[in-house]
Amino acid sequence: MRRLPLIVFGLLLCPSPARADDAGKVFEERIAPIFKSPNPSSCVECHLAAVDLKDYILPSPKDTFLALRDQGLIDLKTPEDSKILQLINRGTNNPKPSGLIPAKQRQAEYDAFAAWIKACAADPAYRDAPKPEKALPLGTKPVEVVRYARKDRMIESFESNVWAMRFRCMNCHTEGTPQNDKLVKESGERVGWFKKAGPAATMEYLLSGKLIDAANPEKSLLLTKPLGTVKHGGGIKFAPGDQGYKAMRAWIDEVAAIRSGTYARAEDLPTKESGPKRFGTDLWLKLDKTPDAWGDKLLQVDVFVWDDKAAVWEKEPVATSDRVVWGKGKLWQHNLTLLAAPGSERAKSWAAGKPTLPTGKYLVKVYLDVGERAKADWKAKLGPDEFVGSVEVQSRWPEGYNAMTTADGTRVRK
């Protein structure tokens, strides 16, 4: 009998031992495995890096609870409305799932957190725990970094850097074209890496495959194959530092930086590039009768449109391209990449439909990389020192290799 008050005392101190066990047990059985798993959580569906469900978990259940609660990620009144559940659930309604994460995995993550939060909310030992003086930090990154590494943001730079360059690869790698069908028969499905489904599907394929090497960007097959530094069924399609190389290399470097965790704080992020958006086309420009001095050098053209209203050439080029001059044939020809300021009417209409140039008068400015600067530094930009002259052309810009707009190389003057 003498022991009874002690038991009562004990019960008062520990009002619901069974429930406390519940929250702890649910944590050990369902949350801890997510924390320890070597596999990425469902967040990778939409975030290239910078977020993982593991970042929201600490080794101890109590610390995890306090950290999530005090950051407003847990709703104790209506546990099912908790922000952390909303983050996990976003993928459920994703209209375009990438197929990276099985629905089953996401559901398991959701159910685990839902069950655990419910158990915590029902348990005063968790629910009413005082705010710790020094909260343990979660592994989460600042929102700016999370935003930067979002795939829907990265797709913009992918479109401008990789997708826009697909015409430089002719149709060899574009799924659903007769050229690609033929090559797929010879070399297998892997040759069809510019996906019929569009830029997002192509980006997903490249991100999850072996064509980009995030540890050594310059060794990526996406670069070394067209450079011809490794054997390539399509031959040499890039000159070192040309526009195709520059664009694809810039995107791969960006992926590498994001993946390696270079950006931890908002101030680590690169300042936004304000250059024009690029749009690939099958519009060809040819310079024939090129002077001997241009032979086998990298030549760049910038194309300017005549502004009828103001009666001047536009200030910014509407198209550009570059390639090594074929010295023996006295010939330079390549397809054009169209350029438009982000958010401009041109950019909008080219993004919505097929990028084209209107019939009219154009000025072609020609630059020659005499000092082979692009070879030495892939970031080098040709400028006034490399300017060799300009020539006017009139064109309706028909499409295709067999319908090139031609300018006379001997008429290029300063």
Summarize as ranges the residues that interact with ligand HEC (CB under 6 A). Answer: 41-43, 45-47, 51, 53, 87-88, 90-91, 94, 143, 146-147, 150, 152, 168-170, 172-173, 183, 187, 190-191, 211, 221-222, 225-226, 231-234, 237-238, 244
| Cα three-residue angle 404-409-414, rounded to 5 degrees | 125
What is the C-alpha separation between 218 and 249, in angstroms, rounded? 7
- Other CB atoms within a 10 A radius of the CB of residue 307 amount to 12
Q: Which residues contact 376 (CB under 8 A, 6 or more apart)?
A: 241
Nearer to ligand HEC, 79 or 91 (CB): 91
Rounded to a whole number of angstroms, the minimum distance from the CB of residue 396 to ligand HEC is 27
The least CB distance from residue 367 to ligand HEC, in Å, is 21
Q: Which is nearer to ligand HEC, 297 or 323 (CB)?
A: 323
Please provide the distance, in angstroms rounded to a whole number, between the alpha carbons at the two ends of the chain.
110
CB of 267 to ligand HEC, least distance (A): 17
Report the residue number, 20 or 165, with the smaller CB distance to ligand HEC: 165
Give the nearer residue to ligand HEC in terms of CB position, either 122 or 170: 170
**What residues have CB less than 8 Å from 371, skipping those under 6 apart?**
385, 386
Q: Smallest gap, in angstroms, from Cβ of residue 126 to ligand HEC?
A: 21
Contacts of 22 (CB under 8 A, 6+ apart): 119, 122, 123
CB burial of 208-227 (b: ≥16 within 10 Å; e: otherwise) equals: eeebbbeeebeebebbbbbb
Question: Which is closer to ligand HEC, CB of 145 or CB of 391?
Answer: 145
Nearer to ligand HEC, 129 or 146 (CB): 146
User: Which lies closer to ligand HEC via its Cβ, residue 85 or residue 339?
Assistant: 85
For the CB of residue 389, give the shortest distance to ligand HEC in the complex, in Å: 28
Question: How far is it, in rounded angstroms, from Cα 260 to Cα 129?
Answer: 37
Minimum separation from the CB atom of position 150 to ligand HEC (A): 6
CB-side exposure of 20: number of CA atoms within 13 Å?
Answer: 12
Which segments of 209-332 does DSSP mark as H helices, in order?
Answer: 221-227, 243-259
Closest approach of ligand HEC to the CB of residue 141, in Å: 8
Closest separation in Å from C-beta 173 to ligand HEC? 6
Instruction: List the alpha helices (DSSP H) in 71-177.
Output: 83-89, 103-121, 124-127, 143-148, 151-161
Smallest separation (angstroms) from ligand HEC to the CB of 11: 39
Do residues 21 and 122 touch, judged by C-beta distance below 8 A?
A: no
Least CB distance to ligand HEC at residue 229 (A): 12
CA distances 319 to 298, 338, 390, Å, are: 17, 4, 14
- In 128-218 the beta strands, taken as DSSP E runs, fall at none
Residue whose CB is less far from ligand HEC, 221 or 324: 221
| Nearer Cβ to ligand HEC (143/403) | 143
Degrees to nearest 5, angle at CA 145 with 82 and 75 = 10
- Closer of 41 and 300 to ligand HEC (Cβ): 41
Taking the C-alpha atoms of residue 377 and residue 371, their distance in angstroms, rounded to an integer, is 11
CA distances from 402 to 25, 182, 282, 331, 405 (A): 71, 21, 10, 15, 10
